Structure 1
Amino acid sequence: DQIWQGIWEQDRFPEEITTISKALREKLTAELPLALEVANDVSTDEGTTRKWVYRLHDGYTIETVLMNYEDRVTVCISTQAGCAMGCTFCATGQAGFSRQLTLGEVVEQVVRAGRAAAPRRISNIVFMGMGEPLANYDVTVGTIRALHHERGLSARNLTVSTVGIAPAIERLALEGLPLTLAISLHVANDAERDELIPINKRYNLERLYQACEVWRNETGRRISFEWALISGVNDTDQALYELAEYARPLGAHVNLIPLNPTPGFLVIGSPAARVRYFRDELEELGVNATVRRTRGRTIDAACGQLANVTNGKRRSIPVR
């Protein structure tokens, strides 16, 4: 109980838990060494957004982002070093895949963020950092169960983002966890989605739709579709109508995100007026939609920008 309270309630490392004996502290520290080393630590948005680049034991790096809002504290965590999905507009996908993270490496991101957030407490955790969470399925679900049962966070405050690995969505629906599922949709026709999100060639929109139906029927939870608005690509009236036709029967919520710039994708995000128009028209077509507030763009901490950047250099190989 004392170890549990120290780690999960007080965000302490084993050597800092003074309610246990020195011998036990030393034993825990030796047998359970910390997995992450801070390689970079930057803040923006008047200090309310903070990003860490962590070096792993083998030299690979990952990133974690802490966002302070008036009504909540959210941490965005990584599940892989790099990503194999290859989405063309995402810096992580452009950097390539290095390896899966372990359960300890994922959980430690939350503990470290909790220490930094003090005296406030982390209220929301989003699996939207580096990597595809459902491609590291066992670690993702293990982390959720640890956070839900050990830390006491409601699964309703945990969000898992995926590009649409349909079988894994169906498997997750049977786990009995009332979490939020966010699907990076971005395009609602197969020809264009094949280009932007290569996994669509394996699990096309029809197959993804079937998985969404399983999720809705098994969990009773509403799905969120993420839609990064790209000027002249997926912000057209045609794209709007395709999205509405896809999302409305599922009762899905749409999160609109103005595209964040990345070096390898030479297009721009939609202007603010177009974003508002897109949202308003979706509402008129019977689809609930909101515009997500962008945080961390100036330090490459916003959605789609995480790509192992230290000292201004973008890396896809181990940093030693």
Structure 2
Amino acid sequence: MTSNVIQNLSFAELQGLVADLGQPKFRAKQLYQWLYKHHAADYDAMTNLPTALRESLAETWPYRAARIEETQVSADGTRKYLVAFSDGVVVETVAIPSDDEKRLTVCVSTQAGCAMGCVFCATGLAGLARNLAAGEIVEQVLLAQADCGRRVSNVVFMGQGEPFLNFDSVLKALRILNDPDAVGIGARAMTVSTCGIISGIEALANVPEQFGLAVSLHAADQKIRDSLMPKVRHQKLTDLKTALAAYQKKTNRRVTLEYIMIHEVNDSPEDLAELVAFTRGLLCHVNLIPVNAVPDSAFQPSPKDTFARWEKTLREAGVETTVRESRGQDIAGACGQLKNTRAAR
């Protein structure tokens, strides 16, 4: 999405645009709500805008809506979308309904591809194509909401890409999604997940909104973590913990630590002891996640009794812990499986 596409503008930017076109101020809010609250298909759908304004906008501000190119539905109700943008770039987005249907969580991508190269994740296999614009991130939520026929309650920035390597677009998208005049999702109902980009953690700490933070830890041993996540090996675990402690001191918010459990790789008693030590002094929630199948990977999830032992030990250490249920595995829509694949015909 190029910078002069209308779907990439914040309310403040739309106010400036409307003023430049000689229109009254209230037109900016009308336009903003058509874009993000009503998700208009095109300018013609914006029926309360004057025809002359719509024609002027169409001439200078292309209306390039994203579209769902393909939908796959899991046996558990999870829906995975192949979302296509105007330049032909595609990403995957996942909609996850809760079992009681009270919540609908959308997992959005922030980059087309990923440069982080985590060895258990399919997204990085093809590398990074480009960053997504804020509007492209927001449209993933709007498309999923329309397809599911009900409001999205939660958004997790856990799809393709490293959000903190596209921080400006991610923050802009978060604020549009949070705005009651746009999508209206609560700040605490949105979580940004990072591989541990310390500069991004520091930047998020300075944001006044209470957006959530999750960190892909996956090992509390430096050598093991470096082997699993080679592109962040320059960021030491001691520095990461210091950054998280500073984040919590400034925000008073809990951090989620994500830990993918891989049999005989990072699930030994020593690994558990190191994780307990890492959490000491942090207000955190640990998510234990079974590694999911990825092409050309021999990784296997840890046995169930290992998960039970880890959960018990962490809870006894005073750490709130859950074992995440993998959703959408049968459509390659679970953690680490997103790679822009089309369904077999």
Same fold (TM over 0.5): yes
Residue equivalent to 1:158:
190
Per-residue deviation at 1:16?
3.2
Q: Aligned partners of 1:132 and 1:103: how far apart in 2?
A: 14
Residue equivalent to 1:13:
41
Q: Aligned partners of 2:41 and 2:155: how far apart in 1?
A: 20
Per-residue deviation at 1:279?
1.0
| Cα separation, partners in 2 of 1:138 and 1:121, compared to 1, 3 Å | same
Q: Residue 60 of structure 1: which of 89, 92, 105 is its match?
A: 89
The yes-or-no answer on 1:127 pairing with 2:170 is no
| Cα separation, partners in 2 of 1:303 and 1:26, compared to 1, 3 Å | farther
Q: 1:272-311 maps to which residues of 2 (within 5 A)?
A: 272-311=304-343
Q: Is the 8 A contact 2:224 2:266 kept in 1?
A: no
Q: Aligned partners of 1:250 and 1:287: how far apart in 2?
A: 9
Q: Aligned partners of 1:170 and 1:125: how far apart in 2?
A: 21
CA RMSD in angstroms comes to 1.9
Q: Aligned partners of 2:58 and 2:153: how far apart in 1?
A: 28
- Range that drifts further, 148-157 or 86-95: 148-157
Residue equivalent to 2:20:
none
Residue equivalent to 2:131:
100
Q: Is the 8 A contact 2:248 2:283 kept in 1?
A: no
Fraction of identical pairs, as percent: 41
Residue equivalent to 1:110:
141
Q: Residue 262 of structure 1: which of 285, 288, 294 is its match?
A: 294
Q: Is the 8 A contact 1:223 1:253 kept in 2?
A: yes
Per-residue deviation at 1:286?
2.0
How many residues of Structure 1 are paired with residues of Structure 2 in the alignment?
311
| SS of aligned partner of 1:110 | helix
Q: 1:138-177 maps to which residues of 2 (within 5 A)?
A: 138-149=168-179, 150-177=182-209
Per-residue deviation at 1:28?
4.8
Q: Aligned partners of 1:212 and 1:272: how far apart in 2?
A: 30
| SS of aligned partner of 1:137 | helix
Q: Match of 1:184, as an amino acid?
A: S
Q: Aligned partners of 2:134 and 2:328: how far apart in 1?
A: 26
1:40-87 per-position Cα deviation (integer Å, ceiling 9, x unaligned): 2111135x2111112333333211111111221111100101000010
Per-residue deviation at 1:311?
4.0
Residue equivalent to 2:71:
41
- Range that drifts further, 199-208 or 222-231: 199-208
Q: Match of 2:326, as an amino acid?
A: T
| SS of aligned partner of 2:215 | strand
What is the TM-score of this pair, normalised by structure 1?
A: 0.91
Q: Match of 2:210, as an amino acid?
A: P
Q: Is the 8 A contact 1:86 1:93 kept in 2?
A: yes
Greater RCO (Cα-Cα under 8 Å, separation 6 or more): 1
Q: Aligned partners of 1:294 and 1:26: how far apart in 2?
A: 47
| SS of aligned partner of 2:64 | coil
What is the TM-score of this pair, normalised by structure 2?
A: 0.85
Per-residue deviation at 1:288?
1.1
Per-residue deviation at 1:27?
5.2
Q: Aligned partners of 1:8 and 1:35: how far apart in 2?
A: 12
Q: Aligned partners of 1:268 and 1:23: how far apart in 2?
A: 60
Q: Aligned partners of 1:266 and 1:189: how far apart in 2?
A: 21
The yes-or-no answer on 1:72 pairing with 2:100 is no
Q: Aligned partners of 2:312 and 2:39: how far apart in 1?
A: 42
Q: Match of 2:108, as an amino acid?
A: I
Q: Match of 1:4, as an amino acid?
A: Y
Q: Aligned partners of 2:301 and 2:191: how far apart in 1?
A: 24
Q: Aligned partners of 2:253 and 2:261: how far apart in 1?
A: 25
Per-residue deviation at 1:177?
2.0
Per-residue deviation at 1:4?
3.3
Residue equivalent to 1:91:
122
Q: Aligned partners of 1:275 and 1:95: how far apart in 2?
A: 31
Q: Is the 8 A contact 2:116 2:232 kept in 1?
A: no
Per-residue deviation at 1:89?
0.2
Q: Aligned partners of 1:141 and 1:284: how far apart in 2?
A: 36
Residue equivalent to 1:316:
none
Q: Is the 8 A contact 2:64 2:86 kept in 1?
A: no
Q: Is the 8 A contact 1:248 1:286 kept in 2?
A: no
Question: Any stretches of 5+ residues in structure 2 without a counterpart?
Answer: 1-28
| SS of aligned partner of 1:54 | strand
Residue equivalent to 2:6:
none
Q: Residue 233 of structure 1: which of 261, 265, 271 is its match?
A: 265
| SS of aligned partner of 2:280 | helix
Q: Residue 191 of structure 1: which of 189, 200, 223 is its match?
A: 223
1:220-278 per-position Cα deviation (integer Å, ceiling 9, x unaligned): 10000001111111222111111111013112110111111101321111123322221
| SS of aligned partner of 1:65 | strand
Per-residue deviation at 1:172?
1.2
Residue equivalent to 2:245:
213
